Structures are given as structure tokens and as C-alpha cells.
Amino acid sequence: MQYSTNGLALTEQFEACKLTAYRDSGGVWTNGYGNTHGVVPASTITQQQAVADLQKNIQTSVNDVNLLVSVQLTQGEFDALVDFDFNLGRGNLQKSTLLTDLNAGNFAAAAEQFDKWDRCNGTVLAGLLRRREAETKEFDGAS
């Protein structure tokens, strides 16, 4: 499957584009639309580089979801999982109860797992909670 325009809008909703490097809520150097690859303090990128990085990073998450999920998905379910992977990384998706439930065919239980990923360094972040709620809504086809 491929990421849809609705999925991309979901990611862009939560990933403001910043052309100058900054530390995200977890302390990781970031730029563009949530890009963490090769970012160093005080560096800047162009808008075109931010878009290119977003497309590359999204494709990595698309590949992750296509590889890790063994059940048939709707477009909304796929988009929600790609955004989840983009935000949290393959390792977190791979070890999650969300993925275990999903691959067991228990879609309802999988949907209930999104909001368990609303913390950074043990602290609930309102932005992460809003993102998980949006992913759940997309997953459930209610967007």
C-alpha cells in the first residue's frame, strides 16, 4: 500500500516545518517535518530539503508498515499506522501490543492501543495525545 493525501495531511498537521535545527520534546535534534537524520545543532535547511526529507522519511514508514503488518488494511488503517511509525519509529511499532493485536486480527484491541503512546520520557504530552487520538480516528475510519 501507499500513503494517501489524507495520511500526509495527518502527518503535516502534527509536524510543523522548522528549517533551523531544534531539540524536540525528547531532546533529539530535529529539522524540517520531524526529520532527525543527520541533524546537527545550528544547522539550517531549505524548504525544498524539508519536503524531500519528509518524502524519504514517509517512504521509510510506508515500507515498515508494509513489512510488519500481515493482515489486510483499509487505507485509513494504513495511514494511521504510517503516521504512528513516522512519529515513533519502526522499533516501537514492531514491539507494540498494537501490532500484535492487529496481526492477530483484533482490530478493535489494536485501535485501543494508540493512546497508550502519549508519553515522552514518562510524561504525558498533550500534543502526543492529540496525535494518537487523530490516528485512532483515522484508523477507525472516522476522519
Active site residues: 15
What residues contact 42, with CB distance under 8 A and at least 6 apart? 20, 21
Q: Radius of gyration (Cα) for the chain, nearest Å? A: 15
Residues 26 and 121: beta-carbon distance below 8 Å: yes
What residues contact 34, with CB distance under 8 A and at least 6 apart? 11, 15, 24, 54, 57, 86, 87
Q: Is 107 helix (H, G, I), strand (E, B) or coil?
A: helix
Q: Is 35 helix (H, G, I), strand (E, B) or coil?
A: strand
Cite the DSSP H helix spans in 30-125: 47-68, 75-88, 90-94, 97-103, 107-111
